[in-house]
Amino acid sequence: MRYRISQDHPAVRSVLEEAGPLLPRIHAMLRVIEETVPVQRIWLDTAEGRDVPRTGFADEAPSEVVTVLRILFRNLVQKKGLSPQLARQQLLRTEPFQHYPELIGSLPDTLPPE
């Protein structure tokens, strides 16, 4: 069994699409991350009742989640050409943001200049 980083996740996909000549290095970096995440240690810690791994922005301040959401939202609207409404709908189906519908709902209909 092997764990992989989803290259279809909007955050990863947007970087890969704009990587240009850095694409091979980014693919190599993702592969190194996949091969070096201590999966066995995570499983052991969880099985032994130690701290459960934090996922999905657990224990993060909403401002941290909003920072990432805004970047992804801007990419979906400006680079992918989605309407703000469709971009919000996609984010509501994207891991881990589906857990933050109120933050997604607060994203603007018009984007301020970068």
Entry pTM = 0.73
Residue 34: half-sphere exposure toward Cβ, Cα within 13 Å: 13
**Distance (Å, whole) CA 36 – CA 44:** 16
Checking if the pLDDT of 54 tops 80, the result is no
The answer for 81, left when phi > 0, alpha when psi is -120 to 50, beta otherwise, is: left
Q: Six-digit token pair at 62?
A: 């909403």
Mean pLDDT (the chain, rounded): 88
Checking if the pLDDT of 90 tops 90, the result is yes
Among 24-33, 61-70, 79-88, 99-108, name the one with the lowest average pLDDT.
Answer: 61-70
- Determine whether 113 is exposed, middle or buried from the number of CB atoms within 10 Å of its CB (0-12, 13-18, 19+): exposed
Which pLDDT band holds residue 7 (cuts at 50, 70, 90)?
Answer: very high
Checking if the pLDDT of 76 tops 80, the result is yes
Write down the pLDDT at residue 53.
63
**Distance (Å, whole) CA 85 – CA 62:** 21
